[in-house]
Amino acid sequence: MFEKVLIANRGEVALRIHRACKEMGIQTVAVHSTADNDAMHVRLADESVCIGPPPASQSYLNIPAIISAAIIANADAIHPGYGFLSEDANFAAIVEEHGFTFIGPSPDHMRIMGDKIAAKAAMVDAGVPVVPGSKDALTDMQSARNMAEEIGYPVLLKAAGGGGGRGMKIVERPDELAAAFSAARSEAAAYFGNDTIYMEKFLTGPRHIEIQVMGDSFGNAISMGERDCSLQRRHQKVLEEAGSPALNDDQRDSISKISRTAVENLGYSGAGTLEFLFQDGEFYFIEMNTRLQVEHPVTEMVTGIDIVREQIMVADGAALSLRQEDITISGHAIECRINAESPIDFTPSPGLITDYHPPGGLGVRVDSGLYSGYRVPSSYDSLVSKLIVHGATRNECLMRLRRSLEEYVIGGIETTIPLLQRVIVDPDFINGDYDIGWLEKFVEAEE
């Protein structure tokens, strides 16, 4: 087993990885920018190395600085967390070239899934249903027109190098296609340095349902069930649930099996997530994420599996510690993302934490690097805490969430707690009746 792991991240996920390491008897090395000298991930780690000034481009994305830190600290492996370098196949390859283990999938699998056209093709080959659309890059208007006629309007143009929603163009009618086609290509080039685009049928009111999977280097694969991540605003998830209130057991088992088999067929090793749109009882694969996700705790709560521990074991060459038959889903879990932002207009609210009192009690988990006296820097993502509740039923989760959000004191800055409190008492939310457009409408209606 590794003796020392370098954690190439910050915030709550750096703590999450540190905790798994400690329980495995592994020493940890934190890296940090000068904005994070007093951050909790630096305080908790066994060692720390400053890797640069506040801008992420010069610190948490600075590959030479991170590799140098791993050499100085004599680490065995690097865990990238989520965001930053976590889905950078070149980083994974550089880590391995320097003799460290990258705690994640192979660079080849990362490259395939990073190219959204290649990812869909790989999934089709592995028996996964995908959104109807172009199988290859769209290079000329005539093939775009033909494809749109074939699948029917509205259609969506997406960047092959994209993901996460940037640079997508909805096309409602044939006369809008030409303008959208050239706009999509130039935006794709500007955002992702790659003007390759593809077309899909535009689904008008789907839910976002994703399957947590894990493979090992012996060709074993498991599915850990689904998460419903439909509650989001501007492509930022706000609340996630395991399981989805929209699925029946047959649908749940079916998509879980399809995903597990796909991971096995792909020979994928490490943790991953297959993202689907779900509409009118059908699943459509859109993308695969090759990293640990922000919302992984809801899956941990309902399965009892420590996903980070499994990532580390598998990266070290061990077999998965569980077979599919050993995995059972127990109860329900909900995660709320708490951001240092105005709960009304979402402007960032960095600054000094004057009071801090997290909720506790049965079925309550808080993953956060906050403490009283900490200053939330303005240089990074505004996620400062995740409140996760677990209960026997969804209703128990809702009651537990209500009282936990009421207990939670984060003084000195604005947070999105008041927004979450309003969402979880809304009748639609209580009924589980929401799609990917629901939260934006809810926020607009409040204004």
Tell me which residues touch ligand MV4 (CB under 6 A): 131, 156, 163-165, 200-203, 208, 232, 235, 277, 286-287, 436
Which residues neighbour 93 within 8 Å (Cβ) at sequence distance 6 or greater?
A: 107
Q: What is the spatial distance between Cα 446 and Cα 428, in angstroms, rounded to a whole number?
A: 15
Tell me the closest approach of the beta carbon of residue 251 to ligand MV4, in angstroms: 18
CB-nearer residue toward ligand MV4: 235 or 441: 235
Tell me the closest approach of the beta carbon of residue 82 to ligand MV4, in angstroms: 15
Contact 132, 151 (CB under 8 A): yes
Question: Which pair of tokens denotes residue 332?
Answer: 């329900």
- Which of 315, 268, 266 has its CA nearest to residue 80? 315
Tell me the closest approach of the beta carbon of residue 234 to ligand MV4, in angstroms: 8
Contact 29, 73 (CB under 8 A): yes
Q: What is the spatial distance between Cα 48 and Cα 147, in angstroms, rounded to a whole number?
A: 53
Which residues neighbour 144 within 8 Å (Cβ) at sequence distance 6 or greater?
A: 138, 177, 181, 199
CB-nearer residue toward ligand MV4: 10 or 207: 207
Q: Which residue bears the tokens 């086609």?
A: 181
* Annotation says 166 is catalytic: no
Tell me the closest approach of the beta carbon of residue 438 to ligand MV4, in angstroms: 10
Q: What is the spatial distance between Cα 18 and Cα 209, in angstroms, rounded to a whole number?
A: 29
Q: What is the spatial distance between Cα 300 and Cα 327, in angstroms, rounded to a whole number?
A: 11
Contact 417, 402 (CB under 8 A): no
Tell me the closest approach of the beta carbon of residue 237 to ligand MV4, in angstroms: 8
CB-nearer residue toward ligand MV4: 102 or 198: 198
Question: Which pair of tokens denotes residue 194?
Answer: 């790659």
CB-nearer residue toward ligand MV4: 203 or 387: 203
Question: Which pair of tokens denotes residue 215?
Answer: 């493979």
Question: Which pair of tokens denotes residue 386?
Answer: 């995740």
**Active-site residue, from 10, 16, 111, 291:** 291
What is the chain's length?
447
CB-nearer residue toward ligand MV4: 200 or 216: 200
Tell me the closest approach of the beta carbon of residue 159 to ligand MV4, in angstroms: 10
List, in sequence order, the alpha helices (H) in 5-160.
11-23, 40-44, 63-73, 89-97, 107-114, 116-125, 141-151
CB-nearer residue toward ligand MV4: 95 or 213: 213
- Which of 173, 150, 234, 176 has its CA nearest to residue 184? 176
Catalytic residues: 291
